[in-house]
Structure 1
Amino acid sequence: MMDKNITVPIEIADLFKDAHIDITDAVLNNVIESMREFKNLKPEEAVEIFSQKAAQIYQDTLHERMKEKMKAAIKEQLHF
């Protein structure tokens, strides 16, 4: 009988290192797009909006990377 438990080792530091460039690129691209969209904002409003968008992009990108690593670990353990 096959063990039904799957161990997914994820080193958080490695995850952040792997995703850092993608996250930085995504945030910068979003800021450039947002600058066009929100060109009439006051500086303090722009900082708040960009900070919120950057945090969301950062979170989404890390989440995607974690899902990718989990899928790869599961696939490896199930020998697909």
Structure 2
Amino acid sequence: MRIECEEAVRHLTIVECRAPWRADLGSEGSRLPVARLRFTRTTGIWTLYYRDRSLRFHRYDLIPPTTNVVELLDELDRDPTAIFWG
């Protein structure tokens, strides 16, 4: 497994990438969005979001929005509720 980051104008999406696990399904691996970091330009604030099973993002409310994106990445890595990495 490897982790990638997809960049957009107002957010970053953290993506889990896995190698193909069955030959009959083809040679492409899977890519699943895990989290999103949204940036509000007017305030300089980053907010962490988690993805549900319907691929919708919801605000993760166990850590407040912050100007320090590293705090949010640390929370994502720590994942105390297992909502990001299962």
Classify the TM-score, shorter chain. Answer: under 0.3
Q: With CA pairs under 8 Å and 6+ residues apart, which has the higher RCO, 1 or 2?
A: 1
Structure showing greater Rg: 1
TM-score by length of 1: 0.27
Higher share of residues assigned helix: 1
Higher share of residues assigned strand: 2
TM-score by length of 2: 0.26
